[in-house]
A and B are shown apart, each in its own frame.
Chain A
Amino acid sequence: MSLKPKTKALTMLLGAGCLFLLAYFLLPLLFVLYESFLGTDGNLTVSRYLAVLQDNQFQNVYLRTLKMAVIVTVIAVFTAYPTAYLMMKIKSSHKAILMSLVILPLMTSPVARTYAWIVILGRYGIVNQTLSLFGLTREPVRMLYTEGAIVVGLLQLFLPIMVLNLVSALENVPSEVEEAALSLGSSKIGTFFRVIVPLSFDGLIMGVTLVFTGCITAYVTPAILGGAKVLTLATLMRQQALVLMNWEAATVIAVVMILTTLILHTVLKRFRPRNQT
């Protein structure tokens, strides 16, 4: 069904949304891209990129961000798979409760969720109080502002997403297939790895993509649990822009971050089964 635009006012209204996005979203993005290639004398160079990429601090932060994302994703996969698998098996009434238990943390604000870890891991937090109560430590152990704290925070943030993705993928695996494998003499573990995982691989890749890119671009968690001591790509970018007033570096980091997520998306897409795109 289509009509040719007849009413001018109507067309203008319809275009208003597009214009809004164009002016306040697309334009800033292109502006950042352009800025990142801008040289000191106004011509386009890659000198800003070279300066940032050769910077030692940037390299450290970049590798640390990737490392933490890998750790979080791996832990998320290994804990979410059995969880999602079991959630599939459970009676539907219990399943609804479990699903809402997984979704509820997703609905609460990331700031509040991350804040809770300060209460738990802080200098006078629960873990330290418990440790000193049993006389295990003399002085409070520093757990906040470490990589470990960020990993824990990110895991708590993204685990529900992984579980939900795997649940929806496992829902598409007919239970008869599993029963067939079992009745043909495959062991439980063998069935899981050779039947269930391959059949739910699409959801796994989706989950991995979401969690991994989410970890790389997360801001709240590293800002609260890592502070200025343990910088990640996102917090480094903000520090460069707002604290050091180094806009040049900030634009380059922004572009590098977009590129990293784009590359990840394309690489992980290749692993997805061909017939289900």
Chain B
Amino acid sequence: MNGKGQERIVKKKRLEPSRLVEEHKGSSGPYRIPRNQVFQDHRKFGFSNIMLVLVILFLFMPLFVVITYSFNATRGMRWNGFSLVWYEKLFFDSKELWRAFGNSFIIAITSSLVATILGSLAAVGIKWYKFKSRAYIQTVSFLPMVLPEVIIGISMLIFFTAVRIPLGMFTIFVAHTTFNLPFVFLLVSARLDEFDFSIIEAARDLGATEMQTLVKVIIPSIMPGVMSGMLMAVTMSLEDFVITFFVSGPGSATLPLYVYSMIRYGVSPVINALSLVLILGIMLIALLFRRFLKTIAASS
């Protein structure tokens, strides 16, 4: 084995053209092709460059248009000067919209709380206890993430109608909890995978009961996973349209549903203004979220 390896090395060495080494002495490594030779056409307007610019433009054009027109002084597409009139209308003259936002908020908080509690406990349970149906449970819990939203929405709608649960806030809450649960479960499970289980053994050795171990050892250490799961659940719940659309009843419109119904009556500059507010809100949440995760990671 040793001899073979040596032979290979010798062969390789022989194959290396010393000429190449000579030529590229100036570059970073002996066998590297000079950087400008590989990357030369990225400095000019190559095909890839044009594509990149086009893709970014295409992705941002709608956003840009909406934001621009939210500052337009009049309704319609003609530019009539800068004004904040639509923002004024959005914040002080859109009762219905704010009620829908209230609904969204209630649903997001309640469903993410329940999903976080149930999902975290299930993750701990799956890790902690060994039982036969474990693999099935894991597969089933991933289904809501993989299945198309329309399918989940329509099957819930048909089911709720069949068992006569009136559509409304409760059904939306149930639906949101269902699609939030797997995400919390996944994030907490990921956190538990890094968990050093000898700590639990230590806790038990030192006389902690099962409950005490859970509350004092396991829960604090999975907290980052739990919190990120909950924040994710809140944002997903706030943003969800499709599933909510199917399981909502009269008077239970959430913000995305309300926006959708407004769109159907035509373009409204108030929605332009709202879009920007929402984008900024989501960016703020994402930023806070990152900072929050950093502080948690630093403290634990």
- Residues in A lying within 8 Å of B, measured CB to CB: 1-7, 10-11, 13-18, 20-22, 24-29, 31-32, 35, 79-80, 82-83, 85-87, 89-90, 98, 101-102, 104-105, 107-113, 115-120, 122, 124-126, 129, 155-156, 159-160, 163, 178-179, 182-183, 188, 213, 216-217, 219-220, 224, 234, 237-238, 241-242, 247, 250-251, 254, 257-258, 261
With A159-B59, A217-B151: A86-B259 Cβ-Cβ less than 8 Å:
no
With A80-B55, A111-B260: A31-B63 Cβ-Cβ less than 8 Å:
no
Q: Are A129 and B78 in contact (CB under 8 A)?
A: yes
Some 20 contacts from A to B, beta carbons below 8 A apart, are A1-B201, A7-B210, A11-B129, A13-B121, A15-B125, A17-B181, A32-B155, A79-B55, A101-B59, A104-B279, A115-B259, A116-B63, A119-B66, A122-B267, A129-B77, A159-B58, A179-B38, A182-B33, A217-B149, A257-B151
Residues from 217 to 267 in B contacting A, C-beta threshold 8 Å: 239, 241-242, 245-246, 256, 259-260, 263, 267
Q: Which residues of B contact A87 (CB under 8 A)?
A: 52
With A126-B65, A159-B55: A258-B181 Cβ-Cβ less than 8 Å:
no
Q: Which residues of A contact B137 (CB under 8 A)?
A: 18
Q: Are B125 and A11 in contact (CB under 8 A)?
A: yes
Cα distance, A6 to B128, chains bound together (Å)? 11
With A31-B159, A107-B286, A115-B275: A25-B152 Cβ-Cβ less than 8 Å:
yes
Q: Are A2 and B129 in contact (CB under 8 A)?
A: yes
Q: How many A-B pairs with Cβ below 8 Å?
A: 244
- Residues in B lying within 8 Å of A, measured CB to CB: 20, 32-33, 38-39, 41-42, 47-49, 51-52, 54-56, 58-63, 65-66, 69, 76-78, 118-119, 121-122, 124-130, 137, 140-141, 143-144, 147-160, 162, 174-175, 177-178, 181-182, 185, 197, 200-201, 210-211, 214, 239, 241-242, 245-246, 256, 259-260, 263, 267, 271-272, 274-275, 278-279, 282-283, 286
With A27-B159, A32-B159: A17-B47 Cβ-Cβ less than 8 Å:
no
Q: What DSSP secondary structure best describes chain A's contact surface? A: helix
Q: Are A25 and B144 in contact (CB under 8 A)?
A: yes
Cα distance, A126 to B77, chains bound together (Å)? 7
Select one of A6, A16, A26 contacting B210, CB under 8 A.
Answer: A6
Q: Which residues of B contact A98 (CB under 8 A)?
A: 52, 56
With A3-B129, A17-B181, A124-B77: A217-B60 Cβ-Cβ less than 8 Å:
no
Q: Are B122 and A14 in contact (CB under 8 A)?
A: yes
Select one of B56, B60, B129 contacting A14, CB under 8 A.
Answer: B129
With A2-B129, A80-B55, A254-B151: A32-B124 Cβ-Cβ less than 8 Å:
no
Cα distance, A60 to B258, chains bound together (Å)? 31
